[in-house]
Amino acid sequence: MFLKANVQTKILPGVTHWQSPEYFAYFPSNSSTAGFLGEMLSAGLNIVGFSWVSSPSATELEVIVLDWLAKMLKLPSAFLSQGEGGGVIQGTASEAVLVALLAARDKLLRRFGKNSLPRLVAYASDQAHASMQKACQISGIHPENCRVLQTDSSNNYSLSPSILREAIAKDVEVGLIPCFLSATVGTTSSTAVDPLFELGKITKDNEMWLHVDAAYAGSACICPEYRHYIDGVEEADSFNMNAHKWFLTNFDCSVLWVKDRNALIQSLSTNPEYLKNKASQGNLVVDYKDWQIPLGRRFRSLKLWMVLRLYGVENLQSYIRNHIKLAKHFEELVSLDQRFEIAAPRTFALICFRLRAPQNDEDCGNKLNKNLLEAVNATGKIFISHTVLSGKYVLRVAVGAPLTEERHIETACKVLQEEATALLGGTGA
């Protein structure tokens, strides 16, 4: 009783309720009965599955489940475990991009020599997740060799192949070595989609590693009508999606597939005496410790296995489609209020919008939208977040909580309109 009271009085008042149907900030972090049961079973077993022999079921189930999910996404067969590729569960997409970058780095260092590290260059758009820059810092890619390429609204904030090609040409001309491109399907700010096929041709021509970050939007691609957003993934060396975002799988469960598992193993493998065993020494099994940064790993495939088994493909597709339908409804409602404008095209279940700038005064407009964000969140009725696009402060509503219904969407729009009216001095829609 004492502990329960402490949780209620000291913990819960400071918790941001990510599972609330009124939660619309950042991107979703789904929980579900199936995910919870898998997490609970994992916690009860409490294995540390660094190698196959440390708990064979943990490795075998992960191999099977990630092949299932790859087939749901219609990924090329090169990403499946039967060949030279395969999937592995990382903690986050930040770990996934780091692991891929380390593999790409070491592949080139073996080719050009260890002293060539200062010449390696990594590329991403200015809409790519900041984890890309952190990965460069950790991997030893010089900060000045981390190219953040500009995007704009004319191309819906996706990375232009011509801009990438030009940046690579300039680097090659001065003796630098193009190493890595992180392309994004569903950027954090606006869910922009980079053109994978065109970018893949460029990376292949320059013998670079292409990583595809579909942390958020990858889940939607199990639906046939959204699968085309990852067309061109056959050109990629690695592909990542977060099952813990929009796939009813409790955090953490970030899935990374690679075409060449040996590239990861050569970069990340260690083989101390105390971990040697007959199965590993005979190359008969997968040791996931060599596919990730840490040694230890939890039995995370259990929760993904339960989600896939208990809900099935059709229910998961319906779940995604419903959120996109609700997002479209919000977009329609906010568009009816002439005080607001849509700031970027809606692709999945994220709406980027803002109050129009008075007299086209963008500084005033930015301040106004910042004040609106703070006022809306201060009500405690909904929670939203923001970004900046083309210098404009933009509000984000990401639909994706498991319990969100149409009535919550309508309430969110009403709260925004009421707080906008208060800020604008009583001017109605």
pLDDT of amino acid 428: 52
Position of tokens 């232009």?
A: 160
Beta strand 350-355 with 340-344 is antiparallel
**Is the CB of residue 50 less than 8 Å from the CB of residue 296?**
yes
Query: What's the rounded Cα separation, in Å, for the pair 275 and 62?
Result: 20
Dist. CA 304–CA 66, nearest whole Å: 9
- Whether omega before 126 lies within 30 degrees of 0, making that bond cis, reads no
pLDDT at 383: 97
| Secondary structure class of 239 (helix, strand, coil) | strand
Quick one: which of 328, 417, 331 has its CA closest to 376?
417
CA distance 170 to 168: 5
Integer-rounded Cα Rg, in Å, for the chain is 23
397-414 burial, b at 16+ Cβ within 10 Å, e below that, comes to: bbbbbbebeeebbeebbe
Instruction: Give, in words, the CATH class of 48-298.
Output: alpha beta
DSSP label at residue 384: -
347 in helix, strand or coil?
coil
Location of each CATH 3.40.640.10 domain in the chain: 48-298
The fold of 2-30+312-424 is Aspartate Aminotransferase, domain 1 (3.90.1150)
- The model's pTM is 0.94
Residues of CATH 3.90.1150.170 domain(s) within the chain?
2-30+312-424
| Tens-binned pLDDT, residue by residue, of the chain (429 aa) | 668 788 888 888 888 899 999 999 999 999 999 999 999 999 999 999 999 899 999 999 999 999 999 999 999 999 999 999 999 999 999 999 999 999 999 999 999 999 999 999 999 999 999 999 999 999 999 999 999 999 988 889 999 999 999 999 999 999 999 999 999 999 999 999 999 999 999 999 999 999 999 999 999 999 999 999 999 999 999 999 999 999 999 999 999 999 999 999 999 999 888 988 988 888 889 999 999 999 999 999 999 999 999 999 999 999 999 999 999 999 999 999 999 999 999 999 999 999 998 888 888 999 999 999 999 999 999 999 999 999 999 999 999 999 999 999 999 999 999 999 999 886 554
